[in-house]
């Protein structure tokens, strides 16, 4: 998924889309790091669209939160 993510990021930058990275803080939040990051990411960046790459439960939760907030979600299947 890292390769796919970097490809998408490169494409976005090439066409002038702002890209903001939000790495999880594993030291501070431990197992909750991704969940904490995802919540912060939605509230901090207020995105118009989310591109969801294949992931686990935290990704699914992020997609549900985004949709509930009226944010468009594009899901990339593996």
C-alpha closest to that of 11 among 57, 67, 76: 76
Question: Which residues of the chain form beta strands (DSSP E)?
Answer: 49-52, 72-75
Cβ-based neighbours of 4, under 8 Å, separated by 6 or more = 53, 76
In tens digits, the chain (78 residues) has pLDDT values of 555 678 888 888 999 988 888 999 999 999 999 999 999 999 998 888 988 888 889 999 999 999 999 999 999 887
Q: What pTM was estimated for this model as a whole?
A: 0.76
What residue segments make up the domains of the chain, in order of their start?
Answer: 2-75
């Amino acid at each position: 998924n890292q390769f796919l993510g970097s490809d998408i990021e490169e494409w976005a930058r090439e066409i002038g889309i702002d890209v903001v990275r939000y790495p999880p803080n594993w030291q501070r939040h431990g197992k909750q790091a991704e969940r904490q990051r995802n919540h912060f990411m939605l509230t901090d960046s207020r995105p118009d669209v989310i591109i969801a790459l294949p992931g686990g439960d935290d990704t699914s939760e992020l997609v549900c939160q985004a949709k509930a907030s009226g944010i468009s979600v594009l899901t990339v299947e593996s």
